[in-house]
Structure 1
Amino acid sequence: MVKETTEAHGGEVTIMSATTVAPALPLQEHRLPLSNLDLLLPPIDVGVFFCYLHPAPTAAALKEALAKVLVAYYPLAGEVMANGDGEPELLCNCRGVDFTEASAGDTELRELRLGIVDEGVDKLVPSKMAGVISVQVTKFKCGGAVVGCTFDHRVCDAYSFNMFLVAWAATSRGGSVPPAPTFRRSLVSPRDPSPRTYATNALIDRLFSPLSSASPPPPATVAATAVNRIYRIAAADVAALQVTAGPGRTKLEAFTAHLWQLCSMSGSAHQRLCCMGMVVDGRARMSPDGAMKAYFGNVLTITYGVNSIDDLRRRMALADVADDVHRWVREAATDEHFRGLIDWVEALRPKPAAARAYLGGTGGTKATACIVSSGMGFPVREINFGTGLPAFASYHFPWPAGAAYVMPMPSARDDGEWVVYVHAAPELVKVMEEEPTVFKVLENSYVFG
């Protein structure tokens, strides 16, 4: 038995045991290349956690179902290795998933201050070890549990990992399991090389840069001093933002515009520009017929806009900012952009590239930056492992980049409200908490009744 104790709000979290869960059926070892869109992701990990009241799923039941679902999701049981060109690729070797069982001792689940992530909630999400994903199940005195997972973003995006979570939960319930995922790289392969397809693309050159030629990133003040919080937003406030943003603007565009204005208020005196980025999923753009619905991997781009802090603070109404957001999201949300991005990476390989939004757009030291990634597809109402739905769930992404990261997702209460994970500098968090209408403190009474 392995015992390792860490502090958490209200008590300690003790690691009781650690094991590896392999697929229930053997698989011939082979290598699976990462796609060109996968190669745009740096080696970063993404976490997610689910809180279950008594009776909570047991570690034994979760491990049994995990072994079964890994037969279809076998890359998650492998390892990321470097190929001969130094690029990452998947070694599908049935290594298995690192699975940790932990105890919160005398702590009750209702004692967790979920909104203050840094006060112990992060101890419930495992650090990824050598494999692709890690799982931790933490039991509480009340009989409740938190199931936390961490996955390698180079292997899949949130859409893909959501597929896995839904299949895992369905397998645990013994019900009908969703169709198996596809790992067909031909769905995101480059087009036949030609001067036309591999020519310089103005939009891609604006959004991405080869790492060797990118400007040095600004001082990583966000990464070094960032705090992690979870807020909630009332459904009525989301709707009001959308109305204020103007006709034809989505809720996410309105939210992003509002956040952009808040970011401008948190900038220091020497910062003159504010960059706001958004992660865009390309599945529906590349395959409107749904052919990529089951594709497992990254199908993402990161688009952005840059405005002066003075304009965002004083001269631009929310509708004007939302118009700007809509414009730069629309220009990247096309099949041609994603196909061109795949071609662009192919022409660049094996040299790596990065999204310029991470660097504040221009890469200059006078720009503050924030990235919004929609988690509105988070299937919180489907992650029932046979003992009931989670009382709460959220992503957890304390990434090391120098930009803030914000991820809205649906509340587990299914009441139209949003839960928003925030990884940002204290200055931005202060502005968000002082803003009177949108970001609300996540109280335990909201989560646990």
Structure 2
Amino acid sequence: MDMKVEIISKETIKPSSPTPAHLRRFAFSFFDQFAPSVYIPLVLFYADTPGDGPEIHEIPGRMKSSLSETLARFYPFAGRIVDNLCVDCTDDGADYFEAQVTGIGIREILQSPDPDVLKLFLPVDIDLPESFHGRLMSVQLSFFNSGGVAVGICVSHKIADTSTLSSFLHSWAAVARGGDSVVAELPGPDLSTASTLFPPSEALRSLRPAKMLKQKCQSRRYCFGPAEIAALQARAASAIAAQPTRVEAMSAFIWKCAMEAAASSGRSLLAQTVNIRKRTEPSLAPSSVGCLISYFTAKVHEKDEQQEKDLLPMLVVKMREGMEDFLENYAKKLGGLESFSTMCELNKRAGELVTTHRPSFYSVTSWCRFGFYEVDFGWGRPDWTSICSSEYKNVVVLMDARDGLGAEAWVTLGEAEMAVFEKDQDLLRYAAPNPSAWPGPFEP
């Protein structure tokens, strides 16, 4: 039997209580205004949910009622964007889908993950324009005949980043478990500080979604074990950067392998996202809601490559220099009177760099340390958390492994570059290409 994911129901989940009139307007920060109009995707796979009996029939009701309660806490997620300035918190709700999976079991999906197949467990395409003028959140629960469920979630990048998505999921899971004391201990979402420190600009009112360039790409998943990460960190160390972090070491290593696969002329640019909550003065609470990210850039030229036998330590140094430049010349100015002009200057500079370094421009985002493997709706931790394939070239997303020590890298490159990249023997010494994500023994 062929695998099939069939939508069997769809409804709108509204907040459990109406949003008060004085909270109806959720003001953007200018970070939200600059954010791309795409959905952030995530799928959490749970194999230990009941396969039949009354308990499996209780799951949809529990998930819908707890989602409704969580939307009352995160009320902008149930609203609609107005003029790239704010969200009208109309309590229109989030889309909720249920799907039935036939022809394959959850263990088989995890045993041999297919980045393209994983899209079937998401409620919407990640680049739908609705992320700007429609539903800001959608959820899909996919039930497997042999037991297990996949929870797919998409939230508009205009109102959330990975940190906000994590906060939402942990709140939703706590409500679903029914622990009032647990919910009470969770920090409530901070829905006002970001727009107070970084108020929206009327100049960006007319800013409309830019059409992101899709290209013929291929996405691959690579897994780094703890020992391999430690070896990369040791190899990447230098007198200037004596103790590279695991994210620095993996990012620089993938950048190196991608540059070599592209056989670039020696000019290359890396942009890595930065969670600005801890970087501004004053700093923001982790619970601050919004797309509160920026980025630093690192660039190399042909003369840099010619002087190095191993590019890895040099690339880590370049990344350190880029981060230090961001912190000194941009982050310190955020939160003050120069906030907006600083952000505009940063975007202008980055745009100029991308233009001069295209096509050897790479974007790296780290989803590590956001606790997605701790999202327990009442049937335990997820067996695997994942994203899916992408149609945007030269994008890398780093994620935690289930053990919290290893990591996964989702790499999307052009077809020609990927054909070379995936055969790179240096890469394969440290990273396993798409190993099983099933944490236990495989039983078909």
Instruction: Give the secondary-structure state (helix, strand or coil) at the position aligned to 1:70.
Output: helix
Note if 1:302 corresponds to 2:306: no
Range with greater deviation from structure 2 (431-440 or 92-101): 431-440
Alignment match, 2:72: 71
Give matches, 1:22-421, under 5 Å. Answer: 22-28=14-20, 30-55=24-49, 58-82=59-83, 87-112=84-109, 116-127=113-124, 129=130, 130-175=134-179, 176-177=182-183, 178-185=186-193, 189-190=197-198, 220=213, 223-246=214-237, 247-268=242-263, 271-286=265-280, 291-308=284-301, 311-312=304-305, 315=308, 317=310, 318-333=312-327, 337=331, 339-340=333-334, 346-347=340-341, 354=347, 361-364=353-356, 366-396=358-388, 398=390, 400=392, 403-414=393-404, 416-421=405-410
TM-score between the two structures when normalised by the length of structure 2: 0.82
**1:6 maps to what in 2?**
none
Deviation at 1:228?
2.4
Matches of 2:301 and 2:194 in 1, distance apart? 42
The one-letter amino acid of 2:372's match is V
Cα 1:312–1:396 shift into 2, 3 Å:
farther
In structure 1, distance between residues paired with 2:353 and 2:113: 30
**Structure holding more helix per residue:** 2
Distance 1:184 1:256, change over 3 A: same
C-alpha spacing 1:324/1:151, structure 2 compared with 1 (3 Å) = same
**Distance of aligned partners of 1:22 and 1:143 in 2 relative to their CA distance in 1, 3 Å threshold:** same
2:422 is matched with 433
CA distance 1:344–1:154, change in 2 (3 Å): farther
Amino acid at match of 2:415: P
Q: Indicate how the Cα distance of structure 1 residues 19 and 114 shifts in structure 2: closer, same or farther if over 3 A, else same.
A: farther
Per the alignment, in what secondary structure is the counterpart of residue 444 of structure 1?
coil
RMSD in angstroms over aligned alpha carbons? Answer: 3.3
TM-score by length of 1: 0.81
1:174-218 deviation line (CA, Å, top 9, x unaligned)? 121212111114665259x9xxxxxxxxxxxxxxxxx99xxx99x
Identity among equivalent positions (%) equals 21
* Structure 1 unaligned residues grouped into runs of 5+: 1-8, 194-210
